């Protein structure tokens, strides 16, 4: 019985120690194991959102993304400028059949994600609070939220 208790205590200590090591070391400014999205709110994220690429640069970015995915059967087709950014087609190498059509912002981010980010920023500005706080206040009953705000 005593050996079993010691073994359980030792296992608990080892588990909590590894959990703390996994969490630690992230100051929110780097892409740590848990803080990846925190970096989007600082000046690096803002600079990335305000960046604008040319059509040739968008082609290069998309070719790099396809290279990362490792599919040798597809390539970047036409890159067409639009009012909001670019439309990029992904085609097969052999027959040039359309595989996918992407709508990207001028900064290379998919237009759907870019619009979601812009909506979030507008909500943050309207609330005057960080987004996480405004979202949490929506989940709390109104009477409790009023007490918390005062």
Which pLDDT score, from 0 to 100, does residue 149 have? 59
Q: How far apart are CA 107 and CA 114, in angstroms?
A: 9
Which pLDDT score, from 0 to 100, does residue 48 have? 78
Which pLDDT score, from 0 to 100, does residue 135 have? 52
pLDDT of 146 > 80? The answer is no
Percentage of the chain with pLDDT > 90?
39
Q: How far apart are CA 10 and CA 46, in angstroms?
A: 46
pLDDT of 26 > 50? The answer is no
Which pLDDT score, from 0 to 100, does residue 23 have? 45
pLDDT of 133 > 70? The answer is no
How many other C-beta atoms lie within 10 A of the C-beta of residue 126? 9
The answer to whether 16 touches 22, Cβ cutoff 8 Å, is no
What band does 30 get if pLDDT is binned at 50, 70 and 90? very low
Backbone phi, psi, residue 129, to 5°: -130, 160
Output the pTM of the full model: 0.56
Q: Which residues contact 131 (CB under 8 A, 6 or more apart)?
A: 120, 123, 124
The answer to whether 80 touches 66, Cβ cutoff 8 Å, is no
In this predicted model, which residue has the larger pLDDT, 41 or 98? 98
The mean per-residue pLDDT over the stretch 100-112 comes to: 94
Token pair for 21 = 């090591």
Query: 8-22, 23-37, 120-134: which has the minimum mean pLDDT?
Result: 23-37
Which pLDDT score, from 0 to 100, does residue 20 have? 45
């Amino acid at each position: 019985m005593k050996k079993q208790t010691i073994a359980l205590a030792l296992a608990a200590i080892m588990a909590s120690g590894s959990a703390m090591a996994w969490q630690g070391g992230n100051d929110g400014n780097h892409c740590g194991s848990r803080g990846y999205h925190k970096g989007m709110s600082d000046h690096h994220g803002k600079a990335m959102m305000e960046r604008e690429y040319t059509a040739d640069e968008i082609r290069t970015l998309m070719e790099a993304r396809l290279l990362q995915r490792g599919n040798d059967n597809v390539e970047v087709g036409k890159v067409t400028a639009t009012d909001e950014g670019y439309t990029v087609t992904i085609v097969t190498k052999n027959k040039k059949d359309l595989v996918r059509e992407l709508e990207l912002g001028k900064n290379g981010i998919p237009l759907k994600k870019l619009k979601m980010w812009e909506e979030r920023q507008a909500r943050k500005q309207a609330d005057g609070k960080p987004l996480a706080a405004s979202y949490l206040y929506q989940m709390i009953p109104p009477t409790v939220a009023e007490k918390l705000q005062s």
